[in-house]
Structures are given as C-alpha cells and as structure tokens.
Amino acid sequence: MQNFVLHNQTKIIFGRDTVGQIGPETAQLGSKALLVYGQQSIIASGLLTQIKTALTDAGVTIVEHGGVQSNPLLSHVRAGIDLARAKNVDVIVAAGGGSVIDSAKAISAGVPAVHDVWKFFTGKKSIKQTLPLSCVLTLAAAGSEMNGGMVITHDDKQLKFGTGNKLLNPQVSILDPTVTCSVPRDYTVYGAIDAIAHILEFYFTCKDPATPVQDRFMEGLIVSIMESCERLYADLDDYQGRADLMWCSTMALNGWTAAGLGLVGFPMHMIEHTLSAHYNVAHGAGLAVVMPGWLLIQANKNPEKFAQFGRRVMGCEHNTDQAAAMEGVARLKSWFQKMDAPTSLAELGIEKKAIPFLAKESLPLAKVWRLKNYNEQIITEILTSCC
C-alpha cells in the first residue's frame, strides 16, 4: 500500500425524508442561491417544488438555472456563470444526478475565475476559489455528490473532458434513496454500471502488487452494486435496493476506494467520453460497451489480477489464471446483457467504420489525463473489441 492523504470534507445526510434539510444546510453557506437542475422529471415529480420550499423557508433567495441535459454542456455552464454573477449569488445548489452536480461545480468554479471556465478542463488553469455547493442527489451513479471531480462537454469542439480539485467537493449532500425511485429501469442500470466502472478503473490500473484491504473493499462494493441492481431490476420501488445502490455509488468514487493505490488511470472513461461527446449516448450505456472490450484486452496481457476478480467477484472456478480471467470478463458482460444494457458499438448506433475517427478523437483527453500508453493504435484495438 502506498502513502496517501484522505481528506473528504463533504457532509452526507442520508435516509428517508431528508430533502427538507437542504434549506437550513444551504442557509449556513449563503443567502442567495443559484438552483441548478435538469429538465422535466424533477419538475413532474414535485421534488423541485419541495426543494424550493425548503430553501425559501430557510430564508434563502433562489435564482433558477434549469435545463441541464445528460452529458452536460459547456454553453449551459457559461450561461449559469453569467447568471450567477449578474444576480450576485453566493451559494450554488444542485438538484439532480451527476450531470447536474458537475454543471453546478463548474459554475461554482467559474464565477470567481477571471478566465473562461473551459481552461480548468484543459489543464491551462488550476482552480483557486469556488462558491460553496450543496446538493440533493437524484440518481445513484457518478459519485459527484462526494468528490471533487466534474465532467463537461464542449458543444462546439465535441470534447467531453473531466477535471478535479478538492475545492469542488460539495459542502453538504442530501442522499434520500426514495428520491431515486422515479429513475427508470434503464438509467438505474446505467448508474450501477457507472459505479462499477469507477471501481474497476482503480482495481485494474493500480501498479502496487499488495493492496489486499482495498481489493476486498472494492470487490465487496461491486458485489453489493450488482445485487442491489438486480433487486431494482425486479422492483424499482425496493427501498433497500435503492439505499444500497446509492451508498455504494457514492463510496465508489469518494476517495476511499483509491486510497493507498498510488497512481491510477481512467482509460475506460477516457474512451467512453469520446463516444458520448459525439453520439450523446448515456454515460453508463457507453461504459457497458467499452468496459468488456477494455477488460478483454487487458486480461489477455496480464491475467493475474483479472483472475482474482473472476474468482472472487464473478464466481469463476478455473484453475488457470488465464481461463479465470477470461471467464470473469465474459460473466460481467453477460450480466450487463442480463440487465438489458448494450454491450456493442452497434447497439449504440455506432458503425465500425467510425472507430478510426473515435480513436483519434480520444487522444486529446488521453493527453490531458496523462494516459501516455494510449495511442491511436491501442485505442483502435480496444474499440474494435467492443464491436
């Protein structure tokens, strides 16, 4: 295990009937809030009204900025920054899933900045100051409610880039599992797959050969995610399933899973970001396609860790590491299919002839994320295995 510093300042309020606490919690951070949210579902469910009432009752003035879409856009972030500045807001409130929270984070960093917010994503500028952020989570997936990461798509350049900074951590996040009961089956599954991908990025890119505590922790989370997802596939209103999936998704990317692993990478996310930037596919759906392809190639090269995953998580009983590794990948892909997730580029509407273009378009993010081993040839090989 490597040396590490773990400092997560996000306050989590978890459980039933906790949404109302967004009011007094936000009031401690500021008096005028930019309320960032998505599109129709939060309005139709009545959740937006509940949040606005809680904020108003706590004495917080609201400036609304709705309309965040899946794969959130830079143009919407820039509009939010302009609005927040014009109205002199002093706190940001995010009500939604990862796309909404990431947009809110970008706005919180962009308001005090003297340059365009996109420079944070290209690595040309570092974040020095942010407005405080509070959240009500509506989708178990991204983990953005308890970490300092954010991902935004540049509308014009069709680049989906992510960056991180400890100042982006929300000050408080409300996690009420009942809020997620309105999430449809496909997006519930996509959220679970996103959380699994977060864990496996750490699990398989870690170079330290001795991380038994973290390995068991990550393996247990994946098993719990799969079990809770299966419960929700059968019954979307299963509270225990919603609660387990929500908390597992948060823990998957809040710093705990990566602690002590040393240098790790996010190659699967890097490739998927290119898919969703150009085809606007759901992030979890894109990962369901990229993940088995990436795992298959890596398992062929270095089967030992993949065999451990196959045996411990997927129940493989093969004696040889190579067989256990390959069977583990096959079983995970089969589970995605069982959950009705896409597992091929064709299912996303992406033709094989687009692979060279997508491989080339992945290179800018590979450079920003310092994934030096991922050149055009290797990315092409991975995408080809996703057909």
The parent domain of residue 343 ranges over: 184-384
Residues 23 and 143 placed together within one structural domain of the fold: yes
Which tokens belong to 279? 């085809």
Residue 150 lies in a domain: yes
- Minimal CA–CA distance to 259: which of 200, 201, 202, 196? 202
| CATH code for the domain in which residue 29 is found | 3.40.50.1970
Count: domains in the chain:
2
pLDDT by position in tens, the chain (length 387): 999 999 999 999 999 999 999 999 999 999 999 999 998 899 999 999 999 999 999 999 999 999 999 999 999 999 999 999 999 999 999 999 999 999 999 999 999 999 999 999 999 999 999 999 999 999 999 999 999 999 999 999 999 999 999 999 999 999 999 999 999 999 999 999 999 999 999 999 999 989 999 999 999 999 999 999 999 999 999 999 999 999 999 999 999 999 999 999 999 999 999 999 999 899 999 999 999 999 999 999 999 999 999 999 999 998 899 999 999 999 999 999 999 999 999 999 999 999 999 999 999 999 999 999 999 999 999 999 999
Residues 55 and 150 placed together within one structural domain of the fold: yes
Which residues, 6 or more positions from 128, have their beta carbon under 8 angstroms from its beta carbon? 112, 167
Residues 346 and 211 placed together within one structural domain of the fold: yes
Q: Please give the pLDDT value at position 263.
A: 93
Residues 171 and 194 placed together within one structural domain of the fold: no
Cα-Cα end-to-end distance for the chain: 37
| CATH code for the domain in which residue 233 is found | 1.20.1090.10
Instruction: Tell me how far apart the alpha carbons of residues 347 and 343 are, in angstroms, rounded to a whole number.
Output: 7
Q: Please give the pLDDT value at position 319.
A: 87
Report yes or no: 286 and 297 within 8 Å, Cβ to Cβ. no
Q: Please give the pLDDT value at position 279.
A: 94
Taking each continuous run of H as one helix and of E as one strand, the counts in the chain are 15, 8
Q: Please give the pLDDT value at position 40.
A: 86
